[in-house]
Structure 1
């Protein structure tokens, strides 16, 4: 069981275990906004609702713009595991401008790619191949990317994650 943690301004911060969330609530550092009523937690002081979403009582300052690190898994997820050239199922990633020609490992230069297209393209650019990209690659946006652990969301989190998008 996981719990969404909201900053005092209702900004999604993180996803933590329900045990960590319960400790924050019991120490009066957070309040429960949404709970799972059918599965209470029993303790020596009585029963507690299992928290689904909690709100911190004090605002936590988040350091400067959160940058999302570029990863193979992230590029595949951003492109919905679809090849940027042909649209088939993708299992690899491709540098639009090859690294051998100065292409960077950046969100703007990487695209999900099927094995066939990746092998055919090799060390060339899409323009040299006469290919067009099906999408414009860029850094992903939204709470699902900046809040760690929200790739598998709980339905009760949707209203709070929608505020951050």
Structure 2
């Protein structure tokens, strides 16, 4: 039915859960409601869209793997040079491998075949091409999920709790 963003006691996003689990956390007193969508479950209980845990939960840092799928997702499945969105997308090294450009979040972007061939073995500046977005490592896998829901147009109230959106 509806998703609920779970925040740590420090207001950082922890998880996305379903509305039933969120209501259980609220009723047990383990969380408090931060945002709701205006729909009532009971006269005194609104359907939550964002809840915050009352006690801080220590979360271990988990690095997101550098994969083609994750890079395409980070770049919103569009060419970072011309905004093309289609099936013919490749990965491009901003600083070419032949010039000691390695495989890192900050050096790989999504590019269409046309732009990738046009850029060739040059830097974007040398090829007179401008990157739409500076490549960077994503904050977390949860950030990916939250961004997807916000970009779909749903859950706009989550925007203020997500870094960089």
**TM-score (normalised: structure 1):** 0.69
Question: Secondary structure in 1 aligned to 2:21?
Answer: helix
After superposition, what is the alpha-carbon deviation per residue over 1:58-111, rounded to whole angstroms, capped at 9, x for unaligned?
0011224x53432334433444544345x2415222234566887543112211
Question: Secondary structure in 1 aligned to 2:9?
Answer: coil
> 1: distance between equivalents of 2:129 and 2:67?
20
Q: 1:59 to 1:148 in 2, by over 3 A?
A: farther
Q: Gaps spanning 5+ residues in structure 1: where?
A: none
The residue aligned with 1:63 is 60
The residue aligned with 1:21 is 22
The residue aligned with 1:89 is 84
> 2: distance between equivalents of 1:78 and 1:134?
18
Matches within 5 A, 1:61-140: 61-64=58-61, 67-85=63-81, 87-89=82-84, 91-96=89-94, 104-119=102-117, 125-127=121-123, 130-135=126-131, 137-140=134-137
Aligned residues of 2:106 and 2:137 also touching (Cα < 8 A): no
* Structure 1 position 142, deviation (Å): 5.8
Aligned pairs, number: 154
> 2: distance between equivalents of 1:112 and 1:77?
9
> 1: distance between equivalents of 2:30 and 2:136?
34
**TM-score (normalised: structure 2):** 0.69
Q: Gaps spanning 5+ residues in structure 2: where?
A: none
